[in-house]
Chain A
């Protein structure tokens, strides 16, 4: 056995103290739901982890009512400084329980422990620290002095970064003085429920954070709920479109962070070894379950063969396997359903004439797995160049000139992110300026920071999360002088409340 077959180095599961069954977290307590339950499983071996309550409409009503009470009576009346104290406390508790959260995340989601440990959980803490700092500085959020919270936020998040997406949603909402009802994804509820324990530990006033678990119907009940003032959704474009249709004309604020088909553009003067790493990180990070993944590699024709050659060699060193092993690079696909979707689209890719290459790695017997795959000879008209695969599948296209690269990169209904690889600073700036994507990375990919706004163009959604911009999705300007003294913080729906979302759309 060679050195490169590193001996197993599994992270211990002993740190977890999971319950057999979890209820819904409403008004500061875990309560039994009325909609029955479902089982959450580990995608790496399909073993059950815990029974999770399914929230029915009545449970969603109770959660929204609790959030409304908490907003009116407590949270909107607290000073920014006091809200900040709670958020700082949550951030510290996340750090204290970081290992536990990382293990739970990898277990439930299938992502490698090195990613949950080194990326997801540290970013979660960073997000809470960042927005904790904003809580008493909302006058500088760009909406003038004395901006007000919107009220109750209904938030629905996806399964690819379960805890991180929770932090992206909850931290700015709470800092701005809103209360929340959050629905985690059906396949990854575990860390949200551990987060509920952290909320209890932090002594957050009851009802400020409510977590309702369930599937699509629960999410639909939440976003459609008449007493929700603001909906924030991250997920597929199809569901996002449905939500937008539901909420049209209701006056409820809406931000959407949807799919993507990002172009990662490699020019012939790129720092080649780092570009290869960036391509790998761009599409194989988190098994490609990343809305901003660099799934379309646009490589300059003159270096195409060299890049593909080096890329294949590099991919052959990736380790696929047990997500809890500290040396695993590629974990499990999150669900059977997603695996089926990836298989279907890759089959279409072959049928359409693209050349498929798959890394030679052993696939475990149980669980959901997909080996890193590269399609070369992909044409812009192929489905794998148009549709989001949301898996470890890279489509390679070529270009000859910067203008062609820009045109091809922009020729997509999406516009969430893009990457540029070049040693020439002036070219990076010129190209970045012309890309219609919310985030453009230069000589790096998939880097996140709470201070940096994130969001999309076109079918990738609207609204920005992160940074000062992320706050405006949860705030409205101060009330007119006459109204201000009557009911501070109390939200009444009206046209003016959609102003912040409307501004983002215009972007």
Chain B
């Protein structure tokens, strides 16, 4: 039995066959609460780890290899996407040993241009390739009918997207219609299936900045995992606050607990607001000390970021040369 089947079976064990509002509410509201002060203290403590010399060099390369290099603007063009792909494949023009990013993340209609620009580089980041992630389901608000969301998803998958980043219906979640959120995830996951039977992997964006409480973040994380998410992702990047360290810590605790329960590993993707190497290193520490070091792989942890990459490159140059360069020594895109 694959771990995914195990995961399915565990979800059924937890919820029974009918994931209706009552069952989901009973489960989600029965989870142990989150003490906000304690959670924030723990994440602050993890943030004080001092990562130096060889550990720092390893961390910087790993951060690059975990980035979903992102452009999600109304003004995106095929040219902009080609630049993004070129940057992702060779982040540092002065250093060919610099690893590529894990994926590029674009709107669904830009997927063909991204794949075209990637050419041979298109592939699984675990094997050294660069994959293409597409946001779907009426990103970022998610305010559209289910039919439109599913069509949006199928369209991106048909265009060749390897990952789909969907948004949950926060309105439904906050008003307690958990089964609606659950069913949407299940159906979008179904829509990720390709003709050959394989499937694009599904990241479920919780938009934690709109969920307001840590208890809600915890419940939404469990809900997404039970519905079959391959990744849980903090934010769209369009709402403030986006990713924070305490929220990411909490989501990592949930995937750790889920792994303990089901034997199945779910990924975590903090997205938006992580701009400095220093911050990104804090996330690596938090992943390693919470879920475990095995989570620091592209199929289990990603950064959704755009400006982070250049700061990491500057730090990387500093580690190599002992001197700080400046913003003109890394390319804009």
Contacts and interface: CB of A to CB of B under 8 A. Distances in A.
A443 B289 contact: no
A406 to B, nearest CB: 22
B52 interface: yes
Contacts of B293: 2-4
Q: Which of B37, B55, B59 has most A Cβ within 10 Å? A: B55
Secondary structure dominating the interface of B: helix
A223 to B, nearest CB: 38
Contacts of A272: 32
A279 to B, nearest CB: 11
B51 A271 contact: no
Given A3-B288, A7-B52, A327-B50, A443 B32 contact: no
B191 interface: no
B49 A6 contact: yes
A327 B33 contact: no
Interface string B35-79: 101110110000011111111101100100000000000000000
B288 A326 contact: no
A154 interface: no
B219 to A, nearest CB: 14
Contacts of A326: 48-50
A327 B293 CA distance: 17
Q: Which of A2, A3, A272 has most B Cβ within 10 Å? A: A3
B89 interface: no
Interface in A242-276: 269-274
Contact of B289 (A4, A273, A423): A4
Tier of interface size on chain A: 20 to 34
Given A7-B55, A118-B48, A274-B42, A443 B34 contact: no
A271 B52 contact: no
Nearest to B55: A7
Contacts of B48: 114, 118, 326
A277 interface: yes
Given A277-B41, A277-B42, A327-B49, A3 B32 contact: no
A185 B251 CA distance: 45
Interface in A1-53: 1-4, 6-9
A271 B55 contact: no
Nearest to B30: A269
A237 interface: no
Given A271-B38, A273-B253, A444-B37, A7 B32 contact: no
Given A6-B55, A327-B49, A273 B288 contact: no
Given A3-B284, A3-B293, A274-B39, A8 B33 contact: no
Nearest to A2: B293
A274 B38 contact: yes
A278 B35 CA distance: 11
B42 A9 contact: no
7 contacts: A3-B284, A3-B288, A6-B52, A6-B55, A277-B42, A326-B50, A444-B41
Given A4-B293, A271-B34, A326-B50, 16 more contacts: A2-B293, A3-B59, A3-B62, A6-B51, A7-B55, A8-B53, A271-B32, A271-B35, A271-B38, A273-B32, A277-B41, A423-B35, A443-B35, A443-B37, A443-B38, A444-B38
Interface of B: 32-35, 37-39, 41-42, 48-56, 58-59, 62, 253, 284, 288-289, 293, 296
8 A-B pairs with least C-beta separation: A274-B38, A9-B50, A326-B50, A271-B35, A423-B33, A274-B35, A7-B55, A272-B32
